[in-house]
Amino acid sequence: MLKLFWYVLIVLLGLNYIYKVGVTLHNDSITKGYAYAEEKKAPNFPPVFDAVDYVETHDGDTFYVNLPSLPPVFGARIPVRISHIDAAEINGKRRCEKRMAEAAKAKLTVLLSTAKIISLRNVKRDKYFRLNAEVLADGIEVSHWMLSKSLVYKYEGETKPSVNWCSFSQ
CA distance 111 to 146: 10
Give the least confident one: 42-51, 54-63, 107-116, 139-148. Answer: 42-51
pLDDT at 93: 87
Under 8 Å between Cβ of 65 and 52:
yes
Where in the chain does DSSP place strands (E)?
23-25, 37-39, 53-57, 62-66, 78-82, 85-87, 118-125, 131-137, 140-141, 152-154
Taking alpha carbons only, the member of 50, 163, 160, 147 closest to residue 108 is 147
pLDDT of 147 > 80? The answer is: yes
Biggest distance spanned by C-alpha atoms of the chain: 73
Domains of the chain in sequence order: 2-39 (no CATH), 53-157 (2.40.50.90)
Q: Give the tens place of pLDDT for each residue, 30-76.
A: 444 444 445 555 555 557 888 899 999 999 999 999 999 889 999 99
Q: Model pTM?
A: 0.72
Contacts for 149 with CB less than 8 Å, ≥ 6 apart: 107
The pLDDT-based confidence of 108 (bands split at 50, 70, 90) is very high
The alpha-helical segments, DSSP class H, found in 22-151 are: 27-32, 72-75, 95-114, 142-148
Which residues are within 8 A (CB) of 163 and not within 5 positions of it... i.e. 6 or more apart?
88, 153
The DSSP string of 140-158 is EEHHHHHHHTTSEEE--SS
Cα–Cα distance, 68 to 50 (Å, whole number): 10
Q: Specify whether the CB–CB gap between 93 and 86 falls below 8 A.
A: no
